[in-house]
Chain A
Amino acid sequence: MLSIKNLKASVEDKAILNGIDLEVGAGEVHAIMGPNGSGKSTLAGVLAGREGYDITDGSVTYRGMDLLDMDPEIRAREGVFLAFQYPVEIPGVTNMYLLKAAVNAVRKHRGEAELDAMDFLKLIKEKAALVEMKQEFLYRSVNEGFSGGEKKRNEILQMALLEPTLSILDETDSGLDIDALRVVAEGVNKLRSPDRAIVVVTHYQRLLDYIVPDRVHVLAGGRIIQSGGKELAQELEQKGYGWIEDQAAA
């Protein structure tokens, strides 16, 4: 589904990604862990099409398409979804409006009819219930004045609505209380299916108890320096990153 080869990216001549290789197959869940500042969000941003990065080398293929060549909105319509580490506040645009515009943009791209107000309302209520979000949040400005946890929950609501083929969750678990963590994990697990893939960026093994990954990768210094099964996450939790970084350096 997703094939990243020797991806290098820099910001203002500062190299941040230094040759990433990653293969994510359909039906798989991959976890990416790694120290602060190692390039995890940069990788997520590059995949979603955020501007401001120079891609200096490498390629990213998504379902046979050259992902880096696509506008962010086309990536989204083709099923790529990024749950932001820091969801953006948009005063004056209601959550409801954003969600409807997003759903209909994706539907239109797929050649499906746009949802009318009634059908959309039904759908949104169902999904809001799924992520246990109160309806009043639908009528508020996007993320404005939302608590940290509420923002993350809102990301998952968007994901649940858009039903992406490739979901990238950038620290969606950070700042969540235990109940919210469970809700988010359930939302993600509902999406798991043989034709979808999920990449979760996290600092905590705890999330991976709920969303059990097929593969765990350690990103450090803009490279994936170690990959393994779900037990790697447990090892990291106990030992930190130092030992792998030493190994990689050796």
Chain B
Amino acid sequence: MNDIVSRYLEQFVAAGPDAGAAPPWLREQRDAAMAQLRKHGFPGPRDEDWRYTPLKPLAGKAWETAATGAADIGGIDDRLIAGLDSHRLVFIDGVFSSDLSTTALAQEGISVRPLSVVLREDAGALPDTIRGGIDARDGFQALNIAFARDGYVVDIASDSKPDKTLECLFIAATAGKAGQTRNVVRLGEHASASLVERHVSLDGVDALVNCGSRLLLGAGSSLDYHLVQTMDSGVNMISDTEADLGADATLRILTATLGGAVVRNNLQVRLNAPGGHCDMLGLYAATGRQHVDNHTGVIHVAPHCTSRELYKGVLDQRARGVFHGRIRVDRGAQKTDATQANNNLLLSANAEIDTKPQLEIYADDVKCAHGATVGQLDETALFYLRSRGISADDARSLLTFAFVNEVLSEIGVDALAEYLGEGLARRLIQHG
């Protein structure tokens, strides 16, 4: 794989130093990330964190990062979610397209901008956590830091709330390209927002999406964040989401994976001050030879925080799933209340799931519960439905839907819940 890294290095050098557009700190970050990638390369199958997920589709090829200027893909009407009234930024292969985006928001206290614009015009506005030195978690994150030139930057001032759902739509459109984006969401004290980050693709494209988001929640703020992926079966994806919660902040985060080839979602939530709460919801539906890997972690740094994690997956045909759920409770985090559940439905004898909780508890006065299940559709329930006139196929889809509905019903954006419900039905109910 060294060969791949040197190809990336060539690309890195060829891309040049952003024609002077990048602030010095960012150039430093990129150089450091590239150096890190050269030194450590990409993770290998011996890495405990990558034991169950094939790396070749992700790291076996030097994807080209799209240059500036979004590719022309015609319209996006058929890619919108019916009934979702959103303020929308659109990115093609990771490059912002102002033509396809809605016009700038004119609401006081709310700023939703592409990273490329912020870097050009207002780089000082980026939070310190973004501008400081960054130690990339692994080769993919290093790659992202070295190459990403766009993404979204959302700033919600204290006590403010956007009057619409914010939507960031990423479209993988060109074969061989890597859409690499960095995103930042910052909520001031008692601010709130609902954001949908969506990844779709054109049909038949093989590409890579490598994206990273930092969510910074001020005291008392509340964020509903949805990472929704419905790409074609040729696109591989790595997402890396890190959230930091202040006192009494609430994060509800949904990671929904319906499409893609090999998909790895990293999620890390840190509860840094008392009173924080996070709901981590996950939904994955995979079929064919899809591979979906969710690596999640919640770190209770401060006392009196709660976290609740519920991931549900449906795997059909030869699909594989991986769930890794880490809960760490630091020494000072007394009165932590953390729960974790991962439930899986296997619709085929060839589908597989590896599910693993990892609890690291260093405080003594805490409540931690976790559980994982793997099962098939309930035959008795299937017969019950059929005995009422419902066809075997409909009965199966009804029970499958009932299984995931526990997650769907918690989604605050109704149009999104409906869209996901329909997407699931389309994807999974192709039996018989």
A141-B390 Cα distance, complex, nearest whole Å: 17
Q: A84-B384, A101-B394 are in contact. Are A73 and B402 (CB under 8 A)?
A: no
Question: A76–B388 contact, CB under 8 A?
Answer: yes
Chain A residues lying within 8 Å of B392, measured Cβ to Cβ, are 71, 73
- Measured between C-beta atoms, what is the minimum distance from A45 to chain B in Å? 9
Question: B402–A92 contact, CB under 8 A?
Answer: yes
A98 at the interface (CB under 8 A from B): yes
Chain B residues lying within 8 Å of A72, measured Cβ to Cβ, are 383, 386-387
Interface flags, A160-192, vs B, CB<8A=1, else 0:
001000000000000000000000000000000
Interface flags, A10-40, vs B, CB<8A=1, else 0:
0000000000000000000000000000000
B401 at the interface (CB under 8 A from A): yes
Chain B residues lying within 8 Å of A51, measured Cβ to Cβ, are 379, 383
A57-B48 Cα distance, complex, nearest whole Å: 58
- Measured between C-beta atoms, what is the minimum distance from B100 to chain A in Å? 36
Chain B residues lying within 8 Å of A89, measured Cβ to Cβ, are 381
| Residue in B389, B394, B399 whose CB lies within 8 Å of A106 | B389
Question: B381–A105 contact, CB under 8 A?
Answer: no
| Residue in B379, B384, B389, B391 whose CB lies within 8 Å of A90 | B384
A88 at the interface (CB under 8 A from B): yes
A101-B388 Cα distance, complex, nearest whole Å: 9
Chain B residues lying within 8 Å of A162, measured Cβ to Cβ, are 388-389
Question: A48–B388 contact, CB under 8 A?
Answer: no
Question: B384–A105 contact, CB under 8 A?
Answer: no
- Measured between C-beta atoms, what is the minimum distance from A128 to chain B in Å? 16
- Measured between C-beta atoms, what is the minimum distance from A2 to chain B in Å? 16
Question: A102–B388 contact, CB under 8 A?
Answer: yes
Chain A, Cβ-Cβ closest to B379: A51
- Measured between C-beta atoms, what is the minimum distance from B369 to chain A in Å? 19
- Measured between C-beta atoms, what is the minimum distance from A73 to chain B in Å? 5
B403 at the interface (CB under 8 A from A): yes
A162-B26 Cα distance, complex, nearest whole Å: 68
Residues of A whose CB lies within 8 Å of any CB of B are 48-51, 71-73, 75-77, 81-82, 84, 87-93, 97-98, 101-102, 105-106, 109, 141, 158, 162
30 A-B pairs with C-beta separation under 8 A: A49-B383, A50-B383, A50-B387, A51-B383, A71-B386, A72-B387, A76-B386, A76-B388, A77-B389, A84-B384, A87-B384, A88-B383, A90-B385, A90-B399, A92-B403, A93-B399, A93-B402, A98-B390, A101-B385, A101-B389, A101-B394, A102-B389, A102-B390, A105-B388, A105-B389, A105-B391, A105-B394, A141-B402, A158-B388, A162-B389
Smallest CB-CB A-B distances: 10 pairs: A92-B402, A105-B389, A76-B389, A102-B388, A88-B384, A72-B386, A73-B386, A93-B402, A92-B405, A77-B389
